[in-house]
Structure 1
């Protein structure tokens, strides 16, 4: 990155309105904006001057880092990205004749730049940044992180064969690293990424083998039950698609046995639903019903929590107390908040309805007609709830 191809943020660029939905700061937006203007003033006092004219060795890149952080808080990722690029250029001035100097500082700036670019969905540019990071000397951890992001970005750009090569390289590097628990965890993440890319290029059987290794890792960690179940869900799908249906069923029933001895978690509700659907398709209605009952229990609790949260949102009476904003804006924000809350309720209810209908199908296969009818009735009652738009129009 040279100074010639870096857009410089100017005072006039900070006169745009702040979108409160994208604002990430912890104080009032006007305060953050004021700090950003002051930080830009500090930057402009040093722009165009040689490093020896800066107050301290890293005064300009430090000031640019502060400005970029504030611009990110304001939700202006495009301006933050331009500032990060200028920061990297400033470090480049300091590196003249000092090979390898400030590599860690540049790596941190590039990591932040990648984040801004990804928030902007400028994935091609983000990939270029990651490639630049990989040219820098760095720790094993920083190199591994850059490799992981290279894989992710290549996949998002649809370059799956390259992403597969990148994931394979990440595994090779992880195997060479020393370390205990942290190495095992990172290796598991690398295998997961590798399996995903194998699947993307149609090598499903190999993807299943890699996923099995990941599942074996998570099985040994009782505090990661949701991750274990999610991996088995993915594994069973890949086994079915590679013609190994019996093994898929065995993997699911094993996971169910393991999970029964652990604390149930609401986050696993949809996974239990998936298990029930897949087991029924594989001709195991009894096991499918067990999984389906667990799914319904967890999803019913999630729906109740969402309903309680929505009632609390409806009852809140301080939504118009913020004197920084006009009444019309507060009304609009209130409407959006209520719509979002109600949409969450309806999503959880739809998921519960789906689980109830799937459970009913399992129960009918087992000739448990009364229990199936009760599940159908509950699902039908949920389906009669008004849609988000209907509820809003009625209100």
Structure 2
């Protein structure tokens, strides 16, 4: 008779990202944050501990955008990500997340971290404090002391409140899946509770607190994102990559630069489409990660790269796990060419490059210069491109 193996509890996470961002004024979770949409940072942060299954709960209209964000996030291979559609209340959103976990092999004895999508700065130390307190109560939550004075305003009158013993509650909140399911399903007023700890406490459960982190702020108002981004940058190291590429002119080939078709009688010689701008950009991006160059990644001896669109190659570079760990924040490109005239193409190239790199147009600069009629470039025999890419790498 075959022995039945006991279930070994695993760790899952639910990231709630189905809010309307009304107080922020625009969709804060999809806004640029240190080179990626903000939600990417939140997903990466939660997975600093061994999460196996992660449910991202989002609005129906955001599903396609959130799917793209999941591909942009640098998540460990062990993490299986699922998307669930949120409801009009946090309770409905979390319940939908729990159902998605149950449908994908998560049992009631497994553990779950429920985290706000708008808290991108949760650190590994805080997550480890939560996990270390498992089984000490029905739910474990991080809290921080309230530093500001508190006043209650009612009917035009104000009264100072005693802040002794008052704490602010953060997420992630950590408990067994069955505990959370039972609390949501058995409470007739679950929609009225602001978080999981308040709900479980209302059903008689025990709430255990651990030390939170003041930097684990929730991006709520319009100025919060800048504060959070500055804190994120302080945790990272700035890295710079340099790229250089050169191609000679040949006839009977289109001229492609920066992913943009240029009107010209001559094109550039090369294995791929010979887009010297994108080649220099790719080398600069790879340089930021310290992982070689495009010659090693896409060797010219490999027939699959003959005539290939360099934008496709850049897409493969950006999808590389080593590159996804970076936060690319700017690209500065200089094209050195006597011909053709490229002034009218600078803005289209800038926009195209920004799209390919996931940056704002203002974070990309494309400059064009000649070589003062000196040397082979000065004689109009080809084009050279120089590129500097700046990125953040977490310490």
More strand, by proportion = 2
More helix, by proportion = 1
Q: Same fold (TM over 0.5)?
A: no
Provide the TM-score with structure 1 as the length reference: 0.23
State the structure with bigger RCO (CA 8 A, min sep 6), 1 or 2. 2
Provide the TM-score with structure 2 as the length reference: 0.23
